Structure 1
Amino acid sequence: MGRFISAAVLREMAKLDKDIVLEEDSVLTPSAKDLAKELGITITKGRQEIVGQSVSGQLAGQPVNPQNERQVTSGAIGADTQNADLKKNVQKILSEVLKPACENPKATHVVGKNVVIQPFAEAPLGQKVGLVDVIDARVGNMASGFMTFDHSRLPWFLNYDEVDYIIEGDFVLEVEDKVFRAVAGDVVYIPKGSQVVFSSPTFCKVFYATYPANWADFCE
């Protein structure tokens, strides 16, 4: 399996060049493809342009319009030196993004009665939302913690995976065109790349786990 190119990785790559060449075995996530179209990025694998306004390079049995043809050779854009520099920068970005959040994970015990949930600074004005991480990137590659919602709503974009376990109360999750109403004992999973609204019509307390642990670094 090749490297996965996420929207976060692609955004960093686009800072260097709007014409991006990927290795043949790279896998572009759906959110990354949407971002490429939004930012006007052209992405090429080998001799085939996979995101852009036209197909660059000649595929077997298909003619090429000279006016639209781009010069793409074995994953190279422009001069050899430019390609080498671009590849080096892409590798650096990938190594930073894909490296584990915690270099030395360790077993940790959190005493629940000592946990104090703080007001969430990113909550909209007037919304009573509490949040605290009890496990973070200092000790593990997954994070976990507690959230509370007191007659409140929190619109949010997840650039990470999350699992929520409802401890008490009524929890509502809106994602795309679906609405999940969960109560104590229920579990919900939210995939990376989801635009959501967390809320409770009354009060609820939720235990969450996220991957990667440094989820806050991926918030836009």
Structure 2
Amino acid sequence: MKKLISSADIRQAKSNQQTYILAPANECIITPEARDLAEAEGVEIRDAAPPQAPAEYKPATDPKATIQQAVESHLGEVDANTSEQIKTLIAKALADFNFAAPDSPRQINDDGILLVRGNAVTLGEFDGAPGKQIGLTDVVGVEDGSNMGVGYMGWENAFFPWTLCYDEVNVVLEGELHVKTAAGTTIANPGDVIFIPKGSSVEFGTPTRVRYVYITYPADWA
């Protein structure tokens, strides 16, 4: 099964200060939104890592560089992409050294059971509603071996149109979610569930604020 590269992956790469991500054409499906966002953010989508010239070894004096050299020396061959990720992780670990780390937003056991802690999920930017401040973060998808896509959305006082090429279930956590169609408006409050069948043309929105979990089928609808 091919891995789906979405706009969330591009945002994560940009957040990690990566200049490219690896997405071999025979292994990955890249959504149009991901391609557009990658071009806008200057993140290159590559089939393979660029060749890396061997660097002359110099003893590191910066603590971060010393830690990175020690880590990479135990990993064997490390490409530029991996090295950049290690650098980012070390910087974050040192910055958080004096603070208690929060629970990981994702935990998975040996049986493949995945737990997502909603209070640790930070919403990224949804690029399907230009000019609107809509937050979205995917948390479960084809990369997890799932036939369903799951994520969180949230925003305040905004509406936007959308046509679904998949079945979707929404579970409202906070505020109120409005789903408008030609037949009227369905309003869901915390604890309510909305099912929207494939092929529906709707307007999502809220006059106040909303945060909810969405479940889509299939996961690789793009």
TM-score range (shorter-chain normalised) is 0.3 to 0.5
Higher Rg of the two aligned structures: 1
Q: TM-score, normalised by structure 2?
A: 0.48
Q: TM-score, normalised by structure 1?
A: 0.48
